């Protein structure tokens, strides 16, 4: 008798993360000896700062290697509350914070917690690759709102207003944006907040994972800090980007207690809690000073130098248009815009120089076949 190999239609309806696929392929090619340069992952090339790794080692040596409370250690949640109040002007109590195995888990649990079948999740495009499929897994309907390079890929409030309905349940805002690097100015967020306020069922998931990788004059504004938006906002953040902690898998969600408790219920059945050692390391990260202190500032300065190098390179390349990113090579189709590519500049200047020469050579070979204008 043959085994039924059918899999769930819910899973069949989603795709594997394109970023993950390309990362794996690039690593396989490198292991096979192919001289490939990967600019696909938004992963810092810096080592985790020593103060953080020492915090993790200390946790291991002191035996902090067991399960923690479902929502995370009280010490870490208290530190997160302090950070959010001092840096983001949002006030939470520890029972309004849920620590998870990465911001990605936080986002998915939030969608599962607030969306019912048929609800709409509003996703501005270009978007982070996982939003779309997470919405599908939550039995929600993704509604994609295209944005324009001429608007710096920022959501147009009138466009948003025209797409909202009684089915609209969750608006996703990612600022600073992955993949475009754009930062939503406070004035624009205020306009969006007024629209959100006119729709009783509409909540906002504010993905702020890149908040510290930002360049003046741009300034980060947390959506929950805007008037009357605290009750409607689920703020997601984490340690991967600013603190070069991608492999530690540590993120968090902050919001009204009834939503956070529901997310914690889901987490209790998935992973129970975040990694205990990573949580101790996260405490150490939050003790490094405002916005990560001088260590994070040094990394951000390097990112800016890399960004400026890429901007100059592409400006000098005929037929290529560039959006000016305010933060830190995947096909744009994976991010909802197949007319673009997303380049991560979390690599050294020499690596980027080599990569750009290869891209230039490839474009010159394509030029007789297609127009780049």
pLDDT digits (tens, 9 = 90+) for 144-199: 999 999 999 999 999 999 999 999 999 999 999 999 999 999 999 999 999 999 99
Cβ atoms of 110 and 234 closer than 8 Å: yes
Distances from the Cα of 8 to the Cα of 11, 107, 141, 142, 269, angstroms: 5, 22, 18, 19, 19
Spatial separation of the C-alpha atoms in residues 257 and 360, rounded to whole Å: 51
Cβ atoms of 39 and 343 closer than 8 Å: yes
The 3-state secondary structure of 164-179, one letter per residue: CCCCEEEEEEECCCCC
Q: Is the peptide bond before 139 cis (omega within 30 degrees of 0)?
A: no
The whole-model pTM stands at 0.91
pLDDT digits (tens, 9 = 90+) for 77-86: 999 999 999 9
**pLDDT at residue 367, as a whole number:** 61
Q: Which residues sit opposite 97 in a β-bridge? A: 254
Beta carbons within 8 Å of 320's beta carbon, 6+ residues apart: 314, 363, 372
pLDDT digits (tens, 9 = 90+) for 28-60: 888 999 888 888 777 899 999 999 999 999 999
Phi-psi region of 228 (alpha: psi -120 to 50; beta: other; left: phi over 0): left
Spatial separation of the C-alpha atoms in residues 255 and 104, rounded to whole Å: 16
Spatial separation of the C-alpha atoms in residues 155 and 163, rounded to whole Å: 12
Quote the Cα angle for 244-249-253, to 5°. Answer: 100
pLDDT, average across residues 339-350: 84
Spatial separation of the C-alpha atoms in residues 131 and 125, rounded to whole Å: 10
Spatial separation of the C-alpha atoms in residues 200 and 167, rounded to whole Å: 11
Q: In the structure, how many helices (H) and strands (E) does the chain have?
A: 12, 9
**pLDDT at residue 100, as a whole number:** 98
For residue 103, name the pLDDT band (cuts at 50, 70, 90).
very high
Residue 96 predicted with pLDDT over 70 = yes
For residue 253, name the pLDDT band (cuts at 50, 70, 90).
very high
**pLDDT at residue 334, as a whole number:** 67
């Amino acid at each position: 008798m043959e085994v039924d190999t059918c899999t769930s239609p819910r899973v069949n309806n989603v795709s594997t993360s394109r970023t993950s696929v390309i990362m794996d392929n690039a690593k396989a090619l490198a292991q096979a000896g192919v001289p490939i340069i990967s600019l696909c992952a938004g992963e810092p090339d810096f080592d985790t700062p020593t103060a953080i790794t020492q915090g993790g080692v200390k946790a291991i040596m002191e035996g902090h290697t067991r399960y923690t409370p479902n929502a995370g250690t009280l010490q870490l949640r208290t530190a997160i509350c302090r950070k959010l109040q001092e840096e983001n002007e949002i006030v939470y109590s520890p029972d309004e914070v849920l620590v998870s195995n990465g911001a990605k888990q936080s986002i998915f649990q939030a969608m599962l917690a607030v969306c019912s079948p048929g609800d709409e999740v509003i996703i501005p495009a270009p978007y982070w690759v996982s939003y779309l499929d997470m919405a599908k897994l939550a039995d929600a309907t993704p509604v994609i709102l295209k944005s324009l390079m001429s608007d710096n890929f920022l959501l147009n409030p009138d466009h948003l207003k025209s797409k909202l309905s009684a089915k609209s349940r969750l608006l996703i805002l990612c600022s600073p944006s992955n993949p475009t690097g754009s930062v939503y100015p406070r004035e624009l967020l205020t306009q969006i907040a007024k629209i959100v306020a006119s729709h009783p069922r509409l909540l906002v998931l504010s993905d702020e994972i890149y908040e510290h990788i930002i360049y003046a004059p741009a300034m980060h504004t947390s959506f929950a800090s805007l008037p009357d938006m605290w009750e409607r906002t689920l703020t997601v953040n984490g340690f991967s980007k600013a603190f070069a902690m991608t492999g530690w898998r540590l993120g968090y969600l902050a919001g009204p207690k009834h939503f956070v408790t529901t997310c914690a219920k889901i987490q209790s059945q998935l992973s129970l809690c975040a990694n205990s050692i990573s949580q101790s390391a996260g405490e150490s990260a939050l003790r490094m000073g405002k916005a990560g202190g001088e260590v994070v500032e040094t990394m951000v300065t390097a990112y800016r130098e890399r960004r400026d190098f890429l901007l100059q390179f592409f400006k000098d390349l005929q037929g290529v248009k560039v959006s000016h990113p305010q933060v830190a090579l995947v096909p744009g189709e994976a991010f909802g815009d197949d007319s673009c590519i997303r380049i991560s500049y979390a690599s050294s200047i020499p690596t980027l120089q080599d990569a750009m020469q290869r891209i230039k050579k490839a474009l010159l070979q394509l030029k007789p076949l297609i127009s780049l204008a």
